[in-house]
Structure 1
Amino acid sequence: MPINLKGLAIGLFLTLISAFSANAAASCGDSTGKPATGEPIIIGAITGKTGPDDFSNSTKSAKAYFDCLNANGGIKGRPVKYMIEDDQWNPEIAAQLAAKLVNDQKAVLMVGNSSYVECGANAELYKKAGILVLAGVGVPRECFFADNIAPTNAGPRVSMLGAMGYALDKLHAKSVVCIAPNIPNVGTWSCDGVALLAKEKGFAAQTILMDPGSADATSVILQAAASKPDVIVLGLSKGVAVPLLTAAEEQGLNRSITFLSAASAYDLSVPSTIGSSWDGKFYVNMEFNDLEATTSDNQNWLAVMDQYGQKSDPRDTFAQAGYLAARVAEKALMSLDPANINRETASAAVKQIKGFKSDIFCAPWYFGDGQTRHNANSTTRMAVAEGGKWKVVSDCAPSPDPELKDIRAFEKSAGLN
């Protein structure tokens, strides 16, 4: 009997090791292990890599997935040629790059886009050219109110209002200051949502718009603290938000005011960077699952990043967004005859996606064929900084953004989510 138990234990151990190894390997496409060698499929992307902050994590992750896909048979034998351009946070450059990718390179889709300026600059071009954009990270309002652009993320307004809803329900806040960038249709749009929710719920709200490239962090924070709000909610990229938190701590404001942020600050490095004095004092909205979730698709995303990305590529919420955008594109293209993949067929295939499931999403993603605007991801979680890490503190909850009424009505009529 002891021998049998020992053998059973060894067998179980080997089985677990085998299972772990299988889970640790990135899974992409048909998982053939054979490189795709056919005619490339051109997919483009525009991101803001250089400027006030590096905002290119979505495209880095999408590239890692496409590299993994190409190493495993591609789209039925055809590799994806993923062309990424940097708009430098400049609308004019963004327009030039979009014309290059769409008109000159003849891209069939745009995938993983992440920019503060390119949606506003290019929405009309995309519509005129008949090309769909599976954006990773939509930021300005135009990314969510355009016929041909469908982001996988929730967006700064929906995310900030998810955080604000948590502050009202769980932190019992009665006053807020909203801080966001003074970028057209970004900061005003987001903070207007906070103000609208404040009006509906009967609490006080103020807005501060700042220049993300040159504003003095201490001045901004002191201005925000002047009204002695219960909470301050940030709608800024990580590289801009962290200096504000540092300035707030220097003024001792973290002892009297609770800070919250849109998902842009949800990065594994942030809790340790800002330090233990922010434990229980800095909350972030999560547009996707816990970055370290042990669920299968989240683990596959991490495996893809480890095997096909760079060690320096952040494992953050925007990288999750790019991975998901690439996965949606793969699903659409895999439904087509590989000999007949072009802009028209690719767009038609994307429009048919109605229930893309991933454990990274709170709810299945859909394109919304026929809709003039797209915001399928509008159900989010919350986390708080604690002990140098993020601690998830809420289940998935619909964002209380009043502007989502049309989205909720469409989902109900179409039987979605």
Structure 2
Amino acid sequence: MPSLHSSTTATITTAPRTPVRLLALLALGLAAGSAQAAPSCGLGNGKPASGEPLVIGAVVGKTGPDDFSSAAAAASAYFQCVNQNGGIHGRPVEYVVADDQWNPETASQVASKLVKDRKVLAMAGNTSFVECSANARMYAQEGVMVIAGAGVPRECYNAQNYAPVNSGPRISATIAAMYAAQKYQAKKMVCIIPNIPSLGNWACEGVKQWGSKNGVSSETIAIDPGSADATSVMLQAAAMKPDVIIMNLPKGLLVPMMAAAEQQNLAKKIRFVSSAPAYNTEIPKTLGPYWKDRFEANLEFLPLDSQGPDNKNWLAVMEQYAPKTAARDNFAQGGYLAARLVTETLLKMDPKKMDRASITQALRGVKNFKSDILCKDFYVGDGQRHNANNSGPMAASNGKTWVPVPGGCLTADDPELTDIRVHEVKLGLR
């Protein structure tokens, strides 16, 4: 039976795919630069919050083909920090996380419990392959605003009440394709994506539409995330004779696919790039030395070890309030940003008007949200859809870690963003 999990006393953790000791060492390595600094959250007054909690919810895909909950783990850590530093106008945040188990029916059930039974005031840190499609209409009907840690399918970026802080698989894959075409003069690409409703071809369609304008052809292979044979998929992709294969997969599916590609020595003639899920501290070592200088990934945010004060604060928050096994990945960056945005928005509100309608209105009014984790300032706005983050840098695997590549942040040239650009001009942001 689906259940709700309150993070006021505990937090969701990410099931490690490498030994716990290795993951802990990786986390400690990332946090080394920020270990001496105390995290800064909310009011930062060091006084524990008390009184009636403000209930914030999240829906994540924790159990299923892959653990997709690191954004909520980071959001939980930030809210715990907020609660130890004055809360929201003195009131603590009760953060309730629900696992949709990668099942649309379950996603609908748990979201309904959060919105209609628990009466959440807003949602923050959602990350799921199925919940946007299942719940976007209900969120709009109930007047609940979602600041997602990471959106995945199309509905996450085409809903009035759903604003992901990440760029999403379509934009991320398009940037990876633009990079590969420029660096390797690639003219033919294959994009591999899970065959999930509203993800499937849509997440690779940006590559195809951009390519059609720039002399690059692209084919899509949509795979069943529960039963795909990695070797067969990679041989199918190689048989199309591409210059570049774009991996648009979560890391649980990516790793066996890359292992199969290595077994067939495909990187000898084909370049491999990826959308953002590959950018994880575990991936370069997990994939190994074969992929040194042969595999590059897009980042939806700045590098995990970047030295900006907000990125350092994210690491400090994770070090103090998150389990050592919780992933320090780009989705965790997104969860932190979502929780920080919601917290800072609520702190600007009248404490006497902290109801759902007022909070939704306040979140819609967010403009010029700044963080050195982001390529550009973030905004929400009152548009019918949201994709404010559409830029990101690239990084290359050296067989041990990720190394940023020259060029900095790249902005997606995706025709689907035309209405977003118009809305940005309307808001005075461009």
TM-score (ref. length: structure 1): 0.93
Query: How far is the alpha carbon of 1:397 from its aligned partner?
Result: 1.7
**Could you say what secondary structure the match of 1:259 adopts?**
strand
Q: Which of 340, 358, 380 is the aligned partner of 1:367?
A: 380
- Quote the residue 1:114 is aligned against: 127
Q: How does 1:267-286 map to 2 (within 5 A)?
A: 267-286=280-299
Query: How far is the alpha carbon of 1:31 from its aligned partner?
Result: 1.1
- Quote the residue 1:49 is aligned against: 62
Query: How far is the alpha carbon of 1:188 from its aligned partner?
Result: 1.1
**Could you say what secondary structure the match of 1:114 adopts?**
coil
**Could you say what secondary structure the match of 1:360 adopts?**
coil
- Quote the residue 2:189 is aligned against: 176
Question: Greater shift after overlay, 397-406 or 64-73?
Answer: 397-406
- Quote the residue 1:68 is aligned against: 81
- Quote the residue 1:146 is aligned against: 159
Structure 1 residue 237 corresponds to structure 2 residue 258: no
**Aligned-partner residue type, residue 379 of structure 1:** S
**Aligned-partner residue type, residue 396 of structure 2:** V
Question: Greater shift after overlay, 45-54 or 253-262?
Answer: 253-262
Q: Which of 315, 325, 332 is the aligned partner of 1:302?
A: 315
Q: CA RMSD in A?
A: 1.2
Question: Deviation digits for residues 228-276 of structure 1, max 9, x if unmatched?
Answer: 2110001110111111111000000121111111101110111111111
Name the CA distance, whole Å, in 2 between partners of 1:64 and 1:120.
27
**Aligned-partner residue type, residue 286 of structure 1:** L
Name the CA distance, whole Å, in 2 between partners of 1:304 and 1:395.
26
Structure 1 residue 392 corresponds to structure 2 residue 416: no
- Quote the residue 1:222 is aligned against: 235
Question: Deviation digits for residues 331-384 of structure 1, max 9, x if unmatched?
Answer: 111011223211011111111111100000000000022x10000000111111
Name the CA distance, whole Å, in 2 between partners of 1:402 and 1:390.
30
Identify unmatched segments of 5+ residues in structure 2: 1-32
Structure 1 residue 415 corresponds to structure 2 residue 424: no
| Residues 134 and 150, structure 1, Cα contact 8 Å, conserved in 2 | yes
| Residues 34 and 313, structure 2, Cα contact 8 Å, conserved in 1 | no
Structure 1 residue 340 corresponds to structure 2 residue 353: yes
Q: Which of 209, 226, 229 is the aligned partner of 1:196?
A: 209
Question: Deviation digits for residues 292-334 of structure 1, max 9, x if unmatched?
Answer: 1111000000010010000000000000000000011011110
**Could you say what secondary structure the match of 1:138 adopts?**
coil
Query: How far is the alpha carbon of 1:90 from its aligned partner?
Result: 0.4
- Quote the residue 2:417 is aligned against: 404
- Quote the residue 1:380 is aligned against: 392
**Could you say what secondary structure the match of 2:317 adopts?**
helix
Structure 1 residue 207 corresponds to structure 2 residue 205: no
| Residues 290 and 399, structure 2, Cα contact 8 Å, conserved in 1 | no
| Residues 177 and 233, structure 1, Cα contact 8 Å, conserved in 2 | yes
**Aligned-partner residue type, residue 120 of structure 1:** S
Query: How far is the alpha carbon of 1:21 from its aligned partner?
Result: 7.8
Name the CA distance, whole Å, in 2 between partners of 1:408 and 1:45.
29
TM-score (ref. length: structure 2): 0.91
| Residues 187 and 235, structure 1, Cα contact 8 Å, conserved in 2 | no
**Aligned-partner residue type, residue 215 of structure 2:** G
Question: Deviation digits for residues 5-49 of structure 1, max 9, x if unmatched?
Answer: xxxxxxxxxxxxxxx889621110111111101210000100000
| Residues 78 and 338, structure 1, Cα contact 8 Å, conserved in 2 | no
Name the CA distance, whole Å, in 1 between partners of 2:422 and 2:404.
29
- Quote the residue 1:8 is aligned against: none
**Could you say what secondary structure the match of 2:416 adopts?**
helix
Structure 1 residue 354 corresponds to structure 2 residue 354: no
Structure 1 residue 324 corresponds to structure 2 residue 358: no
**Aligned-partner residue type, residue 402 of structure 2:** W
| Residues 35 and 319, structure 2, Cα contact 8 Å, conserved in 1 | no
Q: Which of 157, 162, 180 is the aligned partner of 2:170?
A: 157
Question: Deviation digits for residues 49-89 of structure 1, max 9, x if unmatched?
Answer: 00000000110000000001101111010000000000000
Query: How far is the alpha carbon of 1:101 from its aligned partner?
Result: 0.3
Cα 1:105–1:21 change in 2 (3 A) is: closer
Name the CA distance, whole Å, in 2 between partners of 1:408 and 1:90.
34
**Could you say what secondary structure the match of 1:50 adopts?**
coil
Name the CA distance, whole Å, in 2 between partners of 1:259 and 1:376.
27
| Residues 181 and 210, structure 1, Cα contact 8 Å, conserved in 2 | yes
Query: How far is the alpha carbon of 1:387 from its aligned partner?
Result: 4.2
| Residues 311 and 373, structure 2, Cα contact 8 Å, conserved in 1 | yes
| Residues 34 and 312, structure 2, Cα contact 8 Å, conserved in 1 | no
Query: How far is the alpha carbon of 1:410 from its aligned partner?
Result: 1.8
| Residues 62 and 68, structure 2, Cα contact 8 Å, conserved in 1 | yes
Amino-acid identity (%): 53
**Could you say what secondary structure the match of 1:176 adopts?**
strand
Q: How does 1:98-113 map to 2 (within 5 A)?
A: 98-113=111-126
Which has more radius of gyration? 1
| Residues 34 and 315, structure 2, Cα contact 8 Å, conserved in 1 | no
**Aligned-partner residue type, residue 227 of structure 1:** M
| Residues 161 and 399, structure 1, Cα contact 8 Å, conserved in 2 | yes
| Residues 283 and 382, structure 1, Cα contact 8 Å, conserved in 2 | yes
Query: How far is the alpha carbon of 1:413 from its aligned partner?
Result: 3.2
Structure 1 residue 78 corresponds to structure 2 residue 95: no
Name the CA distance, whole Å, in 1 between partners of 2:375 and 2:34.
27
Name the CA distance, whole Å, in 1 between partners of 2:187 and 2:397.
22
Name the CA distance, whole Å, in 2 between partners of 1:170 and 1:413.
35
Cα 1:45–1:271 change in 2 (3 A) is: same
Cα 1:21–1:231 change in 2 (3 A) is: closer
**Aligned-partner residue type, residue 358 of structure 1:** S
